[in-house]
Amino acid sequence: MLGSELSLVEYGDFECPYCRRAAPIIDEVRERLGNRLVFAFRHFPLAELHPYALSAAVAAEAAALKGQFWPMHAKLYSGDEPRLTQADLRRYAEEIGIPPEKVLWPATRFVEDRVEADFNSGVRSGVRGTPALFVNGEMYRGGVTVPNLIEALETTAPAPIQPLG
């Protein structure tokens, strides 16, 4: 598989304790595989269980408009416990160099459709909880460890790319 493009997609919730535990593992997988891996994060806020998940997701997407999705993603998953209140989101924005009002409602209403689209694509793909991982286009059901994910990525055939048209 050397030189192949490997893909890992995570459907995650910034308030989910399991996603929080998976974040450094996924970061290490990304670091080890480097440019062989394409990683995508999709929002799947479980708002009924996690009251701050949706506002955190839209804050991340608002940060993306300023080219700061990954720094905001890192802030949202930082620490042992989620810190996702409006005051926390404002502070994270300041720390990554974005005016705080850009990551809070009403500025975030322009990105709410992106979060909803991610959530809906997860539902269509069979996501029921978080984190839900897809390795090379297939739902991953193994343990979320660095060795397990790397093995799955390197031994699962990438999904074929379909031509446009």
Whether residue 39 lies inside any domain: the answer is yes
Domain contains 110: yes
Q: Number of structural domains, the chain?
A: 1
Give Cβ neighbours of residue 106 (< 8 Å, ≥ 6 apart). none
| 34 occurs within a structural domain | yes
Cα–Cα dist 35/162, whole Å: 21
Note the pLDDT tens digit of each residue in 105-128: 877 888 999 999 999 999 999 999
C-alpha–C-alpha distance, residues 100 and 111, integer Å? 15
Q: Does the residue 165 lie in any domain? A: no
- pLDDT tens-digit series, residues 50-79: 999 999 999 999 999 999 999 999 999 998
With respect to residue 164, please indicate whether it lies within any of the assigned structural domains: no
With CA atoms as reference, report the closest residue to 73 among 49, 100, 48, 43: 43
* Residue 143 within a domain: yes
Q: Is position 19 within any domain?
A: yes
Domain limits for position 19: 6-155
- Average pLDDT over the chain, rounded to whole? 90
Residue 163: inside a domain: no
Pairwise CA distance, residues 114 & 130, whole Å: 18
CATH number at residue 60: 3.40.30.10
Give CA 46 to chain center in angstroms: 13
